[in-house]
Amino acid sequence: MKQNVCFYRVIYGDTDQMGVVYYANYLRWFEMGRTELLRQLGTPYSSIEERGLFFPVTEVSSRYLKSARFDDEIAVETIIQELGRATIVFAYRILRKVDDVLLVEGLTRHACLDADGKVVRIPRDIEQVLRASMAD
């Protein structure tokens, strides 16, 4: 399975009053991970949108295990876990880079929509690229 790893350093604005990363920021980092994975596969999200297709999130789940804090460098690992006719499921692991501690794991499910907002099949060429990344 092809995995993308990207890195991010936590800024002060990512934290809450207790000095830990606000939980919703992990969802932004999920987005960063899947965007970078698609780019690495040669199918950047912008090229998908240029074709009049969109992959909105239809479901999200997160399991918070440990907290990230200001100035931590995190690693966001992303894979494509499932691929249906009109859906994609990405799986994520967010780790603190210095000690490789797993902080959060999660999933996002996406539907493939056309410009009118109707569910459509993922085009074969995109499906082939995505499926190939699952086989590595």
Question: In the prediction, which pLDDT does 3 show?
Answer: 87
Question: In the prediction, which pLDDT does 2 show?
Answer: 81
Dig out the tokens for 59 from the structure.
């479901």
| Cβ atoms of residues 113 and 49 within 8 Å | no
Residues of the chain with pLDDT under 70: 136
Question: In the prediction, which pLDDT does 136 show?
Answer: 61
- Rounded CA gap, 12 and 71, in Å? 8
Q: Tens of pLDDT along 89-123? A: 999 999 999 999 999 999 999 999 999 999 999 99
16 is known as an active-site residue = yes
Q: At 45, is the secondary structure helix, strand, or coil?
A: helix
Radius of gyration of the chain (CA): 16
Q: What is the architecture of the domain spanning 4-135? A: Roll (3.10)
Listed by start position, the domains of the chain span: 4-135
Question: Which of 14, 16, 100, 125 does the annotation list as catalytic?
Answer: 16
Question: In the prediction, which pLDDT does 66 show?
Answer: 97
